[in-house]
Amino acid sequence: MPEPATSRRTSRPEALVTERSVTIVVHSGDLDKLTAAFVIATGAAAMGMRVTLFFTFWGLNALKDGSRAPGKGLLQRLVGWMMPSGPQRVPSSRMNFLGLGPRIFRALMRRGGVGSLPELIAGARAQDVTFTACSLSMDLMGIDRSELIDDIGYGGVASYLAAAQDANTNLFI
Amino acid sequence: MPEPATSRRTSRPEALVTERSVTIVVHSGDLDKLTAAFVIATGAAAMGMRVTLFFTFWGLNALKDGSRAPGKGLLQRLVGWMMPSGPQRVPSSRMNFLGLGPRIFRALMRRGGVGSLPELIAGARAQDVTFTACSLSMDLMGIDRSELIDDIGYGGVASYLAAAQDANTNLFI
Amino acid sequence: MPEPATSRRTSRPEALVTERSVTIVVHSGDLDKLTAAFVIATGAAAMGMRVTLFFTFWGLNALKDGSRAPGKGLLQRLVGWMMPSGPQRVPSSRMNFLGLGPRIFRALMRRGGVGSLPELIAGARAQDVTFTACSLSMDLMGIDRSELIDDIGYGGVASYLAAAQDANTNLFI
């Protein structure tokens, strides 16, 4: 019945036709949630969908390359001390046990053939998943571009929403 | 190829055309996640989208006005003691450090020009973002309408789903 | 204005028409988030929507039937010790207080007429909500099918994405 559909569209001038694409706000820095985000992203890309990962707050840790930028203010250095220095060191979302939880988790990931977080990141990049670092979060956390891996994009909430409004599946992790 | 699309629609009588609108279930009471929710909501509203925030569980703390309602039962008073009394006092989702984490975070927000949580709330309201408090969560947590800020709506899961089913971007934060 | 809409669809061959259906990735094992997931799922099913719950990581705890499978490796047994043995024992996402938080929460759920987590699960199943356990998460966590409740499906990220790409509301909880 195309008629009702047409009249419906006419009455809603802002109606969108969504695409087979996925956006994920990667807000958490927990290893299990980052794993979930990258598994979904890589799976969707393998199925031919366009995928955009938008990294905010603790999620930015996944993009750190392990080096450190000098010359921060005191407040931002304090936040820096609170945050892990790269994807090898992120905690899991519960049962951290002084670092034992993530270590066990990484061992299981190796045995389960999932790959470590750096491997998951490399896999997603190989599949042309778009990485965007939230510039507002970077300002808040005192993270400089020089601290993050290369070949990623930078954008604010408007760039996220532009991707999300056309995507069919939008997650906040 | 319009033909496949048409036949597809015919075989799915419940098909929807989604709108440029956003719903967010604000479940978390963590300062960083509340900030993310309000930044996305305000950004979407500024881009002309309809935005509905549906506050559940700990997210209801963002709507508290700082005053307290008397006459609660023991169980609900216990939950009340566990919860902060207003948006100035919510913790951040990790590294709370006896309250130091949120304090640092608020200082960074000030310096980054983001505004405090009360300012973010005021900004979202000024942009006509719809605030709905989940009535089931309020019952569970023992929160009375008199404890929440004015001019918000109240509704259950059906009201959330009615908004979500027409929206293109639906997040759970 | 149907013309722009048509031309728009032509330029996007992958465009989808979404359905009145809901998918939820149930990643968290926290009582409050599980409650939110089941309340949304059951509400959506009652409104006639198709609902798929995809259980990953800690969310798999909700599907445990309380019995334990023998013969695990050391690593997986360690993870098993970290995890609750069934839906009666999951913690709440904050203020756990040595188990006091969830106990208070369960008492409030009883008094608010929400039902315990096992009752919420039974209610969702009675409404034909589809339960899918993430097979990758099961491998990682060392969870065997014999440990989970009967009559659920098993699948990977592709099965999740297949459901999500047609659904209008996709949440990650």
C-alpha to C-alpha distance for A91 and A88, rounded to whole angstroms: 9
What does the block give as tokens for A32? 């299990």
Question: Average of pLDDT values for A146-169?
Answer: 94
**Of C9, C17, C50, C127, which to mutate for an interface test with B (greatest number of B Cβ within 10 Å)?**
C17
Q: CB B108 to CB A25 under 8 A? A: no
Q: How far is CA B65 from CA B34, B81, B85, B143, in A?
A: 16, 16, 8, 12
Q: Please provide the DSSP assignment of C107-137 as one string.
A: HHHHHTT---HHHHHHHHHHTT-EEEEEHHH
List, for residues A23-36, the tens digit of each pLDDT value: 999 999 888 899 99
pLDDT of res. C19:
63
Interchain contact, B82 vs C93, CB within 8 Å: no
User: A70 pLDDT exceeds 50?
Assistant: no
Chain B CA closest to residue C23: B170
pLDDT of B69 above 50: no
Q: With beta carbons under 8 A apart, name residues in chain C contacting B166.
A: 168
Task: List pLDDT tens digits, range B106-132.
Answer: 666 666 667 788 888 999 999 999 999
Shortest CA distance from C44: residue in chain B: B161
* pLDDT given for residue C75 in this prediction: 53
Which chain C residues contact residue A94 at CB under 8 A?
A: 29, 58, 82
Tell me which residue of A57, A19, A51 sits closest to A37, measured CA to CA. A51
Query: Which CATH code for domain C31-172?
Result: 3.40.1260.10
Residues near A150 by beta carbon (within 8 Å), at least 6 away in sequence: none
Which tops the pLDDT comparison, A56 or A139?
A56
- Computed over every residue of chain B, the mean pLDDT equals 77
Give the list of residues 6+ apart from residue C20 with CB closer than 8 angstroms, or none.
Answer: B14, B16, B165, C48, C49, C50, C168
Nearest-angstrom CA–CA distance, C28 and C76? 19
Residue C47 has its nearest CB partner, among B1, B142, B161, at B161
Looking at residue A105, what is its pLDDT?
65
Closest chain C residue to the Cα of A102, Cα to Cα? C79
Express each pLDDT in A72-118 by its tens digit.
555 555 555 555 556 655 555 554 444 555 666 666 666 666 778 88
Q: What are phi and psi of B114, to 5 degrees?
A: -85, -30
- Percentage helix, strand, coil, to 5, in chain B? 50, 20, 30
- Asked if pLDDT for residue A1 goes beyond 50, the answer is no
Q: Tell which of C27, C94, C105 to mutate to test the B interface (max B CBs under 10 Å).
A: C94
A16 closest CB neighbour out of B19, B40, B170: B19
With bands split at pLDDT 50, 70 and 90, how would you rate the model's confidence at B170?
Answer: very high
Q: Please tell me the distance in Å from A9's CA to the nearest CA on chain B.
A: 7
Whether A155 shows a pLDDT value over 70: the answer reads yes
Please tell me the predicted confidence (pLDDT) of residue B10: 37
C-alpha pair distances (Å), A84 with each of A68, A93, B95: 11, 14, 12
Q: Which sequence spans correspond to the domains of chain C?
A: 31-172
CATH of region B19-172: 3.40.1260.10
Residue B26 has pLDDT above 60, yes or no: yes
Q: Do the Cβ atoms of B29 and C94 come within 8 Å?
A: yes
Is B158 an 8 Å CB contact of chain C? yes
Beta bridge partners of A55: A26, A133
pLDDT at C5: 41
Measured between alpha carbons, how far is C52 from C21 in angstroms, rounded to an integer? Answer: 8
Of B99, B104, B117, nearest to B28 by C-alpha is B117
> ipTM score of the complex?
0.75
- The order of strands in the sheet holding A50-55 is A153-155, A130-134, A50-55, A19-26, A167-172
pLDDT tens digits for range A116-133: 888 889 999 999 999 999
If residue A86 lies in a helix (H) or strand (E), which one and from where to where?
none
Residue partners of A102: CB distance under 8 A and separation at least 6: A31, A90, A91, A92, A96
Give pLDDT, residue C128: 95
Chain C residues with CB-CB distance to B56 below 8 A: 36
CA atoms of A102 and A34, how far apart (whole Å):
12
B164 band by pLDDT with thresholds 50, 70 and 90: very high
Name beta bridge partners: C167: C19
Q: Note down pLDDT in tens along chain C; length 173 residues.
A: 344 443 333 334 344 545 689 999 999 988 889 999 999 999 999 999 999 999 999 999 899 886 444 445 555 555 555 555 566 555 555 545 445 566 666 666 666 667 788 888 999 999 999 999 999 999 888 889 999 999 999 999 999 999 999 898 999 99
pLDDT at A163 over 60: yes
Closest residue, chain C, to B160 (C-alpha): C40
Closest CA to B20 of B167, B165, B138: B167
pLDDT over 70, % of chain B: 61
Contact list, A32 vs chain C (CB under 8 Å): 27, 57-58
Q: Does B77 touch chain C (CB under 8 A)?
A: no
- What pTM was computed for the model? 0.77
